[in-house]
Amino acid sequence: MILLSCFLLVVIGKDLLFSGTIFFGPVFVPSAEDKLKLMLELAEPKPGEKIVDLGSGDGKILVELARKGYQSEGMEINPILVRRSRKNLRKLRLEQWAAVRRANFWKSDFSSYDLVFLYGMKHVMKRLEKKMLAELKPGARVVSNYFRFPDWRPEKVRDEVRLYRR
């Protein structure tokens, strides 16, 4: 009983973003500011491109894209993070530039995207590589923070940020 009480105290006492991951996917880890800047630099987004951030977390990448005048969308499985992202975008009056939807990217079609951002986890990269190579259109770009695809060779690598081109 004491052990259960201690466990509940620890879980309930944690930030909801992290306790929510028990039910809604992996732990949320935001990209560091220097990595975010590098991801955007390597991506070289262009006006009119369809841009998505997979596992968009708190919407940090979406906010930066919106500030630079690019339309984008986020896919996030955790409803707590979806609400937080939407709140951040509203607070900054950027919701006309970016949208966040609760979605499982494994069940989503990537064929319409020109540019994909992700901060994946090692255990999903092989399966995600196959999905992207099968669904992305030729010329589409993928920017990955830290984690690499096992077989797909990046076009550019800088400080553990990789740019892939389909």
Q: Which residue has the higher pLDDT, 80 or 15?
A: 80
pLDDT at 59 over 90: yes
Two tokens, residue 39:
């991801």
Read off the pLDDT of residues 101-121 as tens digits, 9 standing for 90 and up: 999 999 999 999 999 999 877
Go through the domains of the chain in sequence order and give each one's CATH number. Answer: 27-165 (3.40.50.150)
Q: What's the confidence (pLDDT) of residue 157?
A: 96
Two tokens, residue 136:
């992305």
How does the average pLDDT of the chain come out, rounded? 85
Q: Are 84 and 16 in contact (CB under 8 A)?
A: no
Two tokens, residue 57:
């977390």
Amino acid at position 72, single letter:
S
d(CA 45, CA 165): 13
> Pick from 115, 124, 114, 113: which is nearest to 146 by CA?
124
